Amino acid sequence: DAGVIQSPRHEVTEMGQEVTLRCKPISGHDYLFWYRQTMMRGLELLIYFNNNVPIDDSGMPEDRFSAKMPNASFSTLKIQPSEPRDSAVYFCASSEGLKAKNIQYFGAGTRLSVL
């Protein structure tokens, strides 16, 4: 398997623009997690899905952030409108959940810069 695939790897945008980050989980994994990593706050869980259904979105910082998982092989994280404080590295991870003892596999991340 190719692992968790994220695109783009780097995104530079201007304040106010819409940003969409994409993730393809490992085939057969029924959990998908979105994380944000910054120097100040470390690694934060934003939202996670089980079988394409959002389970916990309590980590989503504001209504400007939204995430979808239309099918088992694709998820998006959207920021609209983007702000400079959204600049961070966003990671996607997938897992088989408790039946695989919660091992998570991470993508390489998307580095977002909002100017």
Partner 1 sequence: AQSVTQPDIHITVSEGASLELRCNYSYGATPYLFWYVQSPGQGLQLLLKYFSGDTLVQGIKGFEAEFKRSQSSFNLRKPSVHWSDAAEYFCAVGLNTDKLIFGTGTRLQVFP
Q: Which of 7, 50, 66, 73: binder of partner 1 (CB under 8 A)?
A: 50
Pick between residue 15 and residue 55 the one whose CB is nearest to partner 1. Answer: 55
Query: Least distance (Å) from partner 1 to the CB of residue 49?
Result: 10
Contact between 54 and 75 under an 8 Å Cβ cutoff? The reply is no
CA distance 72 to 8: 19
Query: Least distance (Å) from partner 1 to the CB of residue 42?
Result: 5
Our finding on whether 82 is near partner 1 (CB under 8 A) is no
Reported residue count of the chain is 115
